Structure 1
Amino acid sequence: MAAPESHAGQDRTVRRALLDAALEVFAERGYTDAGLTEIAARSGVPAGTLFQHYGGKRGLYLALWEEFREEQERRTAATLTTERDRGVVDPIALFVAGARAYLGGAWDNRRLARLIAEDDGPAGFDALRRQWDRAWVRRNARLLEVDERHRAGRVRVSVLTTVIGGAARELGDCEDETEALEIVDEVCGILVHLSTPPG
């Protein structure tokens, strides 16, 4: 009988193979046209095991999104911790550093970022994405020390967050890392300009 750690390791390997294959197929065909048979075949995992782990195509898609979201949050939080440890306290500088980290993650995981930005996802995904976007705006408002009770502040943070999201989508179409870095630098300059409160 296999040790529990060995079984858990095999489980992780199977899940990783399924997610990697799902990302390939979703990226090539889109969510709607992706087939579970093809995902199972590419992963080398039986279709029944796919259902056992993820319940189907929707579960695979949501697991990929969750993985991307968590990695982006980890990356951004680590950057903010590093900046604060270096003595950075300016809210705009911290916000831009976090945005740079987020955009770097969007470039590093561009196939997944591009997939998530498309309108071709499972039923109900748009509502989940909007919910996460609202939470992202709230986190950015706290980081920028904006009073969310004032509409102008809320709108400013919403616009800034939208700029970052739009730039992340653009990174998915970049030809190479040089072009991606130029976009990140340009967007961070725009964010500095837009982050400065009027007056």
Structure 2
Amino acid sequence: MTEVAGSRRAQTTRAALLEAAREVFTASGYDAANMVEIADRAGASIGSLYHHFAAKSDLYITLYNDYQRRQQHRSAQAFRSALARGEDDALRLFIVGTRAYLEGCWEERELATVFLSGGGPAGFGMLTRERFREWLHANSTLVNGHTRPLSDMLVLCLTAMATEAGREVATAPSRAKARRLIDEVLELMGRLYPAD
């Protein structure tokens, strides 16, 4: 087997293990998830699973980091699109990015619910707080080069609102309800810094 073919096979196995872990975590939660079940669902051996991931926590955190990257990409893409259309108001830009984030919470609701439920491996709470601070810093940096800059406290409040709204959107009983929640929270955000 060539090195390239081996690398492709390893990538395929890793992707299958992550998909199986996503299915098991969303069905059972972190604590009840079983590594043997994850390997079986992926069609891989338990040895292969441990070759790619050191522990159940490693699988969980990898899924979380991948989810966070997708969410950041959604928000940044929406933000850049708004800039390209000529939007320069800091709050409106924040709201555009938040809409993309919240829509991502709905689109990936099963996985979002797992991460936003408060479960996970030891130390996961610290990781999510660290990611929140990183997100807060990124939000402040992105929006404050534009008109009507937002105070650090307003960015903190808006980011916390988006995070909590994400929990509600992810657990909404229908797409229509999720959309209403998204529209309502964005409208409330707009009231915190009304137009001049």
Identify whether the pair has TM-score above 0.5, normalized to the shorter chain.
Answer: yes
Are positions 1:2 and 2:2 aligned together? yes
Q: Report 1:1-199 matches (<5 A).
A: 1-4=1-4, 6-145=5-144, 153-196=151-194
CA distance in 2, matches of 1:83, 1:110: 25
**Residue 143 of structure 1 aligns to a residue in which SS?**
helix
Per-residue Cα deviation, 1:26-79 (whole angstroms, up to 9, x for no partner): 112211111111111111111111111011201100110010011111111111
How has the CA–CA distance of structure 1 residues 144 and 196 changed in structure 2, closer, same or farther, with 3 Å as cutoff?
Answer: farther
49-58 vs 7-16, greater mean Cα deviation: 7-16
CA distance in 1, matches of 2:47, 2:30: 20
Alpha-carbon contact 1:23-1:112 (below 8 Å) kept:
yes
**Residue 151 of structure 2 aligns to a residue in which SS?**
helix
| Amino acid in the other structure paired with 2:115 | I
**Residue 68 of structure 1 aligns to a residue in which SS?**
helix
Can you give the 5+ residue segments of structure 1 that lack an aligned partner in the other structure? 147-151
CA distance in 1, matches of 2:48, 2:189: 45
CA distance in 2, matches of 1:15, 1:61: 13
**Residue 120 of structure 1 aligns to a residue in which SS?**
coil
CA distance in 2, matches of 1:73, 1:172: 17
CA distance in 1, matches of 2:78, 2:6: 34
Q: CA deviation at 1:9?
A: 2.4
CA distance in 1, matches of 2:2, 2:66: 28
Number of matched pairs? 192
CA distance in 1, matches of 2:9, 2:193: 47
Moved over 6 A (4+): none
CA-atom RMSD in angstroms: 1.9
Identity across the alignment (%): 34
**Residue 115 of structure 1 aligns to a residue in which SS?**
helix
Partner of 1:149: none
**Residue 23 of structure 2 aligns to a residue in which SS?**
helix
Can you give the 5+ residue segments of structure 2 that lack an aligned partner in the other structure? none
How has the CA–CA distance of structure 1 residues 121 and 130 changed in structure 2, closer, same or farther, with 3 Å as cutoff?
Answer: same
CA distance in 1, matches of 2:37, 2:192: 45
